[in-house]
Amino acid sequence: MQESEATPTFKTGVSDVRVDVQVTDGDKLIKDLTKEDFAISDEGQPQSIVSFAHGDEPVNLILLLDVSGSMQKHIDEISVEAREALEHLRPADRVAIMVFAKNTAVAQEFSDNLAETARNIGGAVKNWDVGTTTQINSSVVSAAHYMEKNAGPGRRAILILTDNLSVSYQLTDRQVVRELDKADTVFNAIVTGRAIRPELHPGKPANPDLTPANVYELAEQTGGEWVKAENAGASFTDMIERIRSRYMLAYHEPPSQPGNFRHITVTLGDSARERYPAAKLHSRSGYYAE
């Protein structure tokens, strides 16, 4: 798991900024924090937390499955564990299944029938023709757009299963992150196989026609998490639990020029930091004012 870095934060309506936060100690979740344990600043100015939730809000989750030829084994692994994994969700939670290779298709619309969702995962590869090459970035954008149009109230998350072997045509990570931000969605990844993370070359301009896939970066930039998986089934169960166990904080948005990027910082208070000196917070670092 990696700590998130920077990028825009959850925002709904015109008056509140919502911040989706994960708190970890190593790989372990810290689950006993309260509203008083957190502090938030907006452009360096402390903000009053007006809303706090931990596991109370419904979750809208898209399972985004790479169904290119190399992925059948790993989809079978999560299919075996699907029923147990989805037991971490609650009755009000809704799950959609999208599949992708060159193109993207909705294999199951949002549903709160979690048993049916578990059954549908196994047939995701067999029932859809989405091409043979792999286009990760465009598929993530499609999932973000589907989320924006179809999700219900509550938190929003995408969980991708992929080997991260892809070249995205004229679609950079920054563009993808902006679409995820517009959809108020945290991105998470289970990375299988060779689990390659592209090397970054500062100062060297990227060819927009040959942008390598980097789901690690997408997860970190949206406040999500990623894991390299030897057994995708075990990782699937763990990631569903982690997605369901995040904190949601909200504060009133200060006056600002629309379109400005405003930086936020989420920290633990002194008492919580004393209890958990090694705690890491996974969240986005700002939002675009409306």
Predicted local distance difference test score (pLDDT) of residue 43: 95
CB 178 within 8 A of CB 184: no
Please compute the mean of the pLDDT values over residues 65-78 and round it to a whole number. Answer: 85
Confidence of residue 5 (pLDDT cuts 50, 70, 90): very low
pLDDT score for 184? 87
Residue 101: band (very low, low, confident or very high) from pLDDT cuts 50, 70, 90: confident
Sign for the CA dihedral angle at 47, 49, 54, 59 comes to: negative
Smallest CA-to-CA distance from 182 within 290, 69, 263, 59 is with 290
Instruction: Evaluate whether 214 touches 263 at the Cβ level (below 8 Å).
Output: no
Question: Would you say 263 and 43 are in contact if contact means Cβ atoms under 8 Å apart?
Answer: yes
> In this structure, are residues 52 and 26 in contact, taking their beta carbons and an 8 Å threshold?
no
> Which whole number is the average pLDDT over 63-69?
88
Q: How far apart are CA 6 and CA 109, in angstroms?
A: 31
Q: Which of 48-52, 76-80, 284-288 has the lowest mean pLDDT?
A: 284-288
pLDDT above 90: residue 18: no
Band the pLDDT of 246: cuts 50, 70, 90. very high
Quick one: average pLDDT of 244-261? Answer: 90
| Selected residue with higher pLDDT from 108 and 200 | 108
Q: Distance between CA atoms of 63 and 95, rounded to whole angstroms?
A: 7
Specify the pTM.
Answer: 0.87
Select the highest-mean-pLDDT range: 66-70, 72-76, 116-120.
Answer: 116-120
Rounded Cα distance, 78 and 91, in Å: 21
Domains, the chain, in order of start with CATH, read 11-55+247-288 (no CATH), 59-244 (3.40.50.410)
Q: Is the pLDDT of residue 235 over 50?
A: yes
